[in-house]
Amino acid sequence: MDLMDNKTEVPEMMKHCTRGCRWCPFMPLVFGIVMLLLGYFLDAATVRILWLILSGVVIVMGLFCFTMMRSMFRR
């Protein structure tokens, strides 16, 4: 069954998705404020180590997502 077959399913699905994501715009704001405060109060070497750890985690997560997407689309 295609989603476009039933016109009432699409608005219901959009309402459900937007209800779950209404707090998502605040995440970068909170993260940015925390990083700004850490950069202001901590030593430069400590901030450099935290930056390397956080960027490494983001890179590993991106590589993991890339390999998972490739394996899902290969099937």
CA 41 to chain centre: 26
- Model pLDDT, residue 8: 64
Euclidean distance between CA atoms 12 and 2, whole angstroms = 15
Q: How many CA atoms lie within 13 A of 38 on its CB side?
A: 13
Sign of the torsion formed by the C-alpha atoms of 48, 35, 25 and 61: positive
Euclidean distance between CA atoms 64 and 56, whole angstroms = 12
Residues sharing a CB contact under 8 Å with residue 25, sequence separation 6 or more, in sequence order:
none
pLDDT, tens only, 27-74: 888 888 888 888 889 898 998 998 899 899 989 998 998 898 888 888
Higher pLDDT, 68 or 25: 68
